[in-house]
Chain A
Amino acid sequence: MREVDRRSQYSRRIFLQGAATAVPVVAAVGAVAIEDAWAADATALAPATLKTMVKVARDIYPHDFLVDSYYITAVRPWDGKAAADPAVKAMLEDGVRRLDQDAKDRHKLNYVQVPWEADRVALLQGIEQTSFFKTLRGDLVVSLYNQEALWPKFGYEGSSAEHGGYIKRGFNDIDWLPKV
């Protein structure tokens, strides 16, 4: 079968060993640097607000093989929307403030500092019915998964017509089915 994500060619153990020394580390370092820069560029929202929203985005749709840059790409447009609409700005700032307050009440920490995902998820469950959470999640399900750059990581190949479809590219190449 023609595979899409080359990582599936390797066992997880080998992948992790490789990751400790090779390119992925460099990529991760780069992503961290980008993260600091992008939040400082915000015009309407405080950098801390945006960074909290990125953490919330990862906690809503956690994919451990995705670096932060995908979540940043998904969340960054909110700064522009906040700049264009004071109601959006207030909704986001109030939402993050409430989340941080809940985190302080329970853990004496801001949301992003709460160390375990399970504890942060419990905080998100507490605000699940707020328009902040619903709006963020409803946008994120498109703004995250509609990024073409992450499709190969999910084994999805996107547009195919310009490649002549799959008629010669594996539409029927499955080779592991039991004989019936």
Chain B
Amino acid sequence: MAKFDLNDDGVVVIVGSGAGGGTLGNELAQKGVNVVILEAGPRTEIQDFVNNEWESFTQLAWTDMRTTSGSWRVAKDFANLPAWIVKSVGGSTVHWAGASLRFDEHEFRTKSTYGNLPGANLLDWPVTLSEMQPWYVKAEDKMGVTRTNNIPGLPGNNNFKVMEAGARKLGYKEVHTGRMAINSEPRDGRGSCQQIGFCFQGCKSGAKWSTLYTEIPKGEATGNLEVRPGCMALKIEHDANGKVTAVIYADEVGKTQRQKARIVAVAGNSIESPRLLLNSASNMYSDGLANSSGQVGRNYMRHMTGSVYAAFEKSVHMYRGTTMAGIIRDEARHDPSRGFLGGYEMETLSLGLPFMAAFLNPGAWGRPFTSAMEQYPRMAGMWLVGEDMPQETNRITLDPTAKDKFGIPVASVHYDDHPNDVAMRNHAYRQGAAVYEAIGATVTYPTTPYPSTHNMGTNRMSAKPRDGVVNKFGQSHDIKNLFVSDGSQFTSGAACNPTLTIVALAIRQADHIAGAMQRKDI
């Protein structure tokens, strides 16, 4: 395993080891580039994972202080937990569900397709679907996505069978067990899914793709990648010419270190990435790094989400088996006749009993709540996930008072639903309930959005420097050796889960960075 000197100014330093950072690190290492990944969390391996929701949450979740504001209900119910994401090597690929869908063509061109929508900061991506297709192909192959590369779909569990039956009855056509980065048969040195459930708590069989046990060990095996767990990036430094030169971080024992760098790539998820850029403000860059557009931290997207659970007369046991291997795609299309722009997916979802108690209706108590809880074994559940509108005022800022244990201002997350988001959610609640009622649900529970798992848009891509933070390769418009490599690059959020697109962009970005380094452009 490689070990690089703090004064080695030839390395690429990547902040974060998730879908973006972990993939970029391996791809660069495979090309012979020396890489240091700084990961804020510990290295928690497969054998450490626990099939227990709260215990796992304590083990994996990012619970460092954050603050919230805005009209979203999360700000009231979970004021210091705006997002449910992971602080551990592998980042949120440790707890993601595995859903791996490509954007539709129009979802790269929201300004052109949706036009002017008051309150929405719509913008076309500087890349198109056709430009991304070959990178999606590489990402699907890397991750072993079912229903691609001749990989069979996963078998449907009870929760899927209920959703499928209701969907067919309702006339939905595109209903299957999803395109999942979970092995349905052994592949890439990993076994097939054992239907354990607990996909969100870290996959105990390793059937689900995570950078923790795919990209990262592969990169390390080249001798070109060093991962430093427990290392929290605090600030990115630059020289008199404006180029970034080093990352200041707190190491495992809290000691401040300076890792020199030829290139810095930020991949700390859409809350921490803009926080790091903003906290790196200097005399030259008084509004933070890469922020001449003023867009760093803005256009925070979290997807239109919600869930529908339904109770039946007889047992379902929705928690048995793969959590999200089930999808209805018919509503993912853009069809303004429904009363909103963009579309949404319906995906199977289950929570264990402890999380159901916490998230079914936060704050609720008394008989209506306990009556619902007692339906647990007879419940089926789905997650609703759709495109939310980018809004300039939905943003990550530095909290004016709250600081972390290193004395650095924490991220404050502001979010208000756009009227389009509300209209879409109401439609999705109706359709979700209809799916279950079609096959005899006795009661349905339209469930409020959870803390965000999909965080996007806060360092958006743009063709023109004045409109966004990074270009089509995730390279910042202002500083050519500073890159953004996570979902914060997203110009818009699309209906589908973001990970496949993050991975595809990271593979493409690695190609760009390696080429630029070889040509001595950077």
**Chain A residues near B (Cβ < 8 Å):** 1-5, 8, 59-63, 121, 137, 141-142, 144-146, 151, 154-162, 164-167, 169-174, 176-178, 180
Given contacts A61-B365, A63-B374, A171-B157, contact A161 B317 (CB under 8 A): no
Does A158 contact B162, Cβ atoms closer than 8 Å? no
Rounded to whole angstroms, the CA-CA distance of A109 and B216 in the bound complex is 65
CB distance from A142 to the nearest CB of B (A): 6
- Smallest CB gap from A125: residue in B: B366
Does A177 contact B370, Cβ atoms closer than 8 Å? no
Does B320 contact A166, Cβ atoms closer than 8 Å? yes
Give the secondary structure class of B's interface: loop
Does A177 contact B353, Cβ atoms closer than 8 Å? no
- Smallest CB gap from B440: residue in A: A178
**B197 in contact (CB, < 8 A):** yes
Does B197 contact A8, Cβ atoms closer than 8 Å? no
Give the B interface residue count (CB, 8 A): 48
CB contact between B353 and one of A60, A145, A170 (< 8 Å): that residue: A145
Does B168 contact A165, Cβ atoms closer than 8 Å? no
Given contacts A146-B54, A155-B376, A160-B51, contact A172 B155 (CB under 8 A): yes
Does B373 contact A154, Cβ atoms closer than 8 Å? yes
Does A172 contact B319, Cβ atoms closer than 8 Å? no
Question: Can you give 11 contacting A-B residue pairs, CB < 8 Å?
Answer: A4-B317, A8-B315, A62-B370, A63-B374, A121-B366, A141-B357, A155-B378, A156-B319, A159-B52, A161-B49, A177-B161
A166 proximity list for chain B (CB < 8 A): 157, 194-197, 320-321
Does A160 contact B198, Cβ atoms closer than 8 Å? yes
CB contact between A160 and one of B54, B157, B196, B356 (< 8 Å): that residue: B196
- Smallest CB gap from A2: residue in B: B317
Extra 17 A-B pairs, beta carbons < 8 Å, given A161-B51, A172-B321, A174-B162:
A62-B370, A63-B370, A63-B373, A145-B357, A159-B52, A160-B196, A161-B49, A161-B196, A162-B51, A166-B197, A171-B195, A171-B320, A174-B315, A174-B316, A174-B317, A176-B314, A177-B165
**B354 in contact (CB, < 8 A):** yes
Q: B52, B315, B356, B374 — which one has the most chain A CB atoms within 10 A of its CB?
A: B315
**Chain B residues near A (Cβ < 8 Å):** 49-52, 54, 155-158, 161-162, 165, 168-169, 193-198, 204-205, 314-317, 319-321, 352-354, 356-358, 363, 365-367, 369-370, 373-374, 376-378, 439-440
CB distance from A168 to the nearest CB of B (A): 9
Rounded to whole angstroms, the CA-CA distance of A2 and B365 in the bound complex is 31
Does B194 contact A158, Cβ atoms closer than 8 Å? no
CB contact between B161 and one of A141, A162, A172 (< 8 Å): that residue: A172
A162 proximity list for chain B (CB < 8 A): 51
Rounded to whole angstroms, the CA-CA distance of A63 and B314 in the bound complex is 20
Given contacts A156-B376, A174-B162, contact A161 B198 (CB under 8 A): yes
- Smallest CB gap from B49: residue in A: A161
Rounded to whole angstroms, the CA-CA distance of A8 and B312 in the bound complex is 14
Rounded to whole angstroms, the CA-CA distance of A85 and B376 in the bound complex is 37
B156 proximity list for chain A (CB < 8 A): 172
Closest 9 CB pairs of A and B: A155-B377, A165-B194, A171-B321, A159-B51, A165-B196, A145-B357, A161-B204, A156-B353, A180-B168
Rounded to whole angstroms, the CA-CA distance of A97 and B32 in the bound complex is 70
CB distance from A113 to the nearest CB of B (A): 20
Does B369 contact A61, Cβ atoms closer than 8 Å? yes
Rounded to whole angstroms, the CA-CA distance of A142 and B57 in the bound complex is 12
Rounded to whole angstroms, the CA-CA distance of A164 and B196 in the bound complex is 7
Rounded to whole angstroms, the CA-CA distance of A125 and B318 in the bound complex is 33
Does A169 contact B352, Cβ atoms closer than 8 Å? no
Does A3 contact B315, Cβ atoms closer than 8 Å? yes
CB distance from A85 to the nearest CB of B (A): 20
CB distance from B83 to the nearest CB of A (A): 20
CB distance from B349 to the nearest CB of A (A): 15
- Smallest CB gap from A1: residue in B: B315
Does A170 contact B196, Cβ atoms closer than 8 Å? no
Does B353 contact A154, Cβ atoms closer than 8 Å? yes
B316 proximity list for chain A (CB < 8 A): 174
CB distance from B184 to the nearest CB of A (A): 12
A170 proximity list for chain B (CB < 8 A): 158, 317, 320
B198 proximity list for chain A (CB < 8 A): 159-161
CB distance from A180 to the nearest CB of B (A): 4
Does A155 contact B354, Cβ atoms closer than 8 Å? no
CB distance from B376 to the nearest CB of A (A): 5
Given contacts A1-B315, A158-B51, A171-B320, contact A137 B365 (CB under 8 A): yes
CB distance from A72 to the nearest CB of B (A): 18
A59 proximity list for chain B (CB < 8 A): 366
B197 proximity list for chain A (CB < 8 A): 160, 165-166
Does A165 contact B376, Cβ atoms closer than 8 Å? no
Q: B161, B352, B353, B369 — which one has the most chain A CB atoms within 10 A of its CB?
A: B353
- Smallest CB gap from B376: residue in A: A154
B317 proximity list for chain A (CB < 8 A): 1-2, 4, 155, 157, 170, 174
CB distance from B53 to the nearest CB of A (A): 8
CB contact between B358 and one of A62, A142, A165, A177 (< 8 Å): that residue: A142
CB contact between B162 and one of A142, A146, A159, A177 (< 8 Å): that residue: A177
Does B365 contact A172, Cβ atoms closer than 8 Å? no
- Smallest CB gap from A63: residue in B: B370
Given contacts A174-B161, A177-B162, contact A169 B169 (CB under 8 A): no
B373 proximity list for chain A (CB < 8 A): 61, 63, 145, 154
B158 proximity list for chain A (CB < 8 A): 170-174
Does B51 contact A62, Cβ atoms closer than 8 Å? no
Does B353 contact A167, Cβ atoms closer than 8 Å? no
Does B194 contact A62, Cβ atoms closer than 8 Å? no
